[in-house]
Chains A and B, each alone.
Chain A
């Protein structure tokens, strides 16, 4: 049996205003409320509401056989409440079906794991609390920001937070001859591990509407046929897991409605469920479904799902990014010592990984993706606004 595991990332950062040095010390709002509201309402209209609606109807139609998972950041939930409460309601309706798993992550979609273990654990706990409060859901599967993972992360989330499953990128330099189609264990064999099957995930997320792609247009029949072929290699009846992980904004936002992405999704479960040896599972179910000894995988260096390199270079690849993030975590320490909850909230909003992503200077194909997602003219501008924000925050400390 091959189980398709869908996980969708739902995230919106708090984008910064164009903060000038002369704005510092005026205690002005650092975040661009107008832009953030505008983006949230646009994405809700184009993606969140129609996609939630579609998936809800598919879940109902297939009566428990079609399942999905979401990871929704705290900053996204907060902005649903501010700018699109109906979106939050529609996620709650999905939660009520019992066919949706919610994953745990850092509340602020931060890189805290790499810089500040205590802050990381605080943000993970905050997020778990949020999922319980909003959806009545206790998270058991962990997904770190941008699927960033290395061995010591599994120690933290297993020993301290008690997560049972973790998901990350199916990086070839770790997998080598292995396939991402089986469930693995972390290096210490404590925790169940799923790896993104990036070729097929990216066929939907990145290539779906690319007319230069030889496989264009991607039809449901063709895609399910490819999935079918994956099962041929398995001769011992071991359960396989095809992990299709992607940004939720793929639906209607990165791939426009006109591309046919909604039609594709609408017919996909039908086509899959026609075949007895294909089905759907959520991440946490894979542990019980693993009818074999799971192999342990070691990740000595961090990996991620970003860009060709699948490493940290999208956020930590140049001096601007390093100076920005080191300054932030140094300042966060001071903010915590002062104990002002409002300042702490600002500092944490500044810990969102997107701020560092905007400063990326890898200007080839990946750079274009960065540019597409950035609200600023250039990485240099993004850096200037961010550093000015940190200077302002520091002036607010007494």
Chain B
């Protein structure tokens, strides 16, 4: 089985949990013998033919242009990083496609492809919905336009059985590929605009999400929580939706032993400082806990559009030097901050899944996670509390600080539980989705 996969993030191209999830999933799918041609928002027009597990780290690349590819094959790179740099994939996803390269989207769109005589009305409407909403002056929208234009060539020239697209940024590409190739499409919902915005969000993104899910043959949701959201907010046919929880695998060279920073009990928030993740609830909880336990330290790790507001608010609450901001942390620093902490808190307002708590639990941190999260469906050895219930969260932390033995015990139980959650099982479920989709597809198109 061979999959054409579109995603916006894949290590080292990472800005959030999507990249981590795709990495674990693709690696496990390769182990099952599934071949994947991966398309990323790279600077150069390349795809990554992944055939064996180790390919997820080495990322072998093929340039679409044969002469360019020959040149690439003759080049020698001193390191993997240098090679990836050449392809244009080493920082944040949004930084690769240069704006000046972007052609006028509307002019370039091959309308005849999408509105040919064979196209049914319903399909035309979905495409119209997608194309009319993929318009805007924002950098991100322009980059998605560029990515979508390039998808056409991948769709025509590559050979595959099924298309798999992750999150709205790649749905237009997935739709286009399905239209061009006639192959079935699976879309994967890691987060919807409702989750990200912590409110209604961007209308255009909703429309693109809706078109993508409607046009897809199957929709994979990362949790029941997300499946519920897709049904109630997007009105997607329940028969099309499959739930596959994310998993988590620690890299082998990781060091899990504690390395404290503070003598006092240390509580950690690790995630983007945006409304969705509920950092403001964390701050409120910290204020309450510090009153009872001035020896406690609260770390807020990450950056986001709420950084300044949270910083100023922490100062006005007079949390002294007990509430600390790390700013952006790289991978090693994330591990260091996990090793330095005792209690992890994820007060997300809406979290489709949430891999970060699994990682924290793997490090033996006792975790408090929002009931409004997908991850709460897969773990038992964690406290599950409504994100808005700051009193209960503060009481729980106070209790854990007062009963350090109990805190440690729950942390160890959580660690054991998380170690049993493997990408292998998730990949098995995805393979079932693939085969079911293919057999239905073959039945419909004999």
Contact = CB atoms under 8 A, between A and B. Distances in A.
Verify that A and B bind, or say they do not: yes
Interface of A: 20-22, 24-25, 318-320, 322-324, 326-327, 330-331, 380, 383-384, 387-388, 390-391, 394-395
Contact of A21 (B299, B311, B314, B319): B299
A320 B333 CA distance: 26
Contacts of A394: 321
Given A21-B299, A21-B337, A323-B315, A384 B261 contact: no
A186 B44 CA distance: 74
Interface string B246-263: 000000000000001111
Sort A-B residue pairs by CB-CB distance and give the 3 closest, nearest first. A319-B316, A319-B315, A390-B321
Interface stretch (B233-241, B323-331, B351-359, B369-377): B323-331
B33 to A, nearest CB: 42
B55 interface: no
A57 B322 CA distance: 54
Contact of B315 (A22, A24, A320, A391): A320
B342 to A, nearest CB: 15
17 contacts: A21-B261, A21-B299, A21-B301, A21-B324, A24-B262, A318-B312, A320-B311, A320-B312, A326-B318, A327-B320, A331-B321, A380-B307, A380-B308, A383-B315, A384-B311, A390-B321, A394-B321
Given A319-B315, A320-B315, A380-B308, A326 B261 contact: no
Interface string B348-388: 00000000000000000000000000000000000000000
* Secondary structure class of chain A's binding surface, majority of residues: helix
A247 to B, nearest CB: 29
A323 B261 contact: no
Contacts of B322: 391
* Secondary structure class of chain B's binding surface, majority of residues: mixed
B444 to A, nearest CB: 56
A25 B261 contact: yes
B277 interface: no
Nearest to B307: A380
Given A20-B327, A320-B311, A384-B311, A327 B321 contact: yes
A395 B336 CA distance: 17
Nearest to B262: A395
B315 A384 contact: no
A332 to B, nearest CB: 13
A20 B262 contact: no
A104 to B, nearest CB: 32
B334 to A, nearest CB: 10
B263 A22 contact: no
Nearest to A394: B321
Nearest to A378: B308
Nearest to B260: A25
Contact of B326 (A21, A318, A383): A21
Contacts of A324: 315
B325 A384 contact: yes
B207 interface: no
A320 B325 CA distance: 13
Nearest to B320: A327
Contacts of B336: 22
B263 A395 contact: yes
A323 B319 contact: yes
A35 to B, nearest CB: 19
A385 to B, nearest CB: 10
Contacts of B312: 318-320, 380
A318 B325 CA distance: 18
B142 interface: no
Contact of B325 (A21, A323, A395): A21
Contacts of B299: 21
A326 B315 CA distance: 11
Given A319-B312, A327-B321, A391-B262, 7 more contacts: A20-B327, A22-B336, A22-B340, A330-B320, A380-B312, A383-B315, A390-B321
Contacts of A25: 260-262
B184 to A, nearest CB: 47
A380 B311 contact: yes
Nearest to B311: A380
Nearest to B301: A21
B261 A22 contact: yes
Given A25-B260, A319-B315, A384 B327 contact: yes
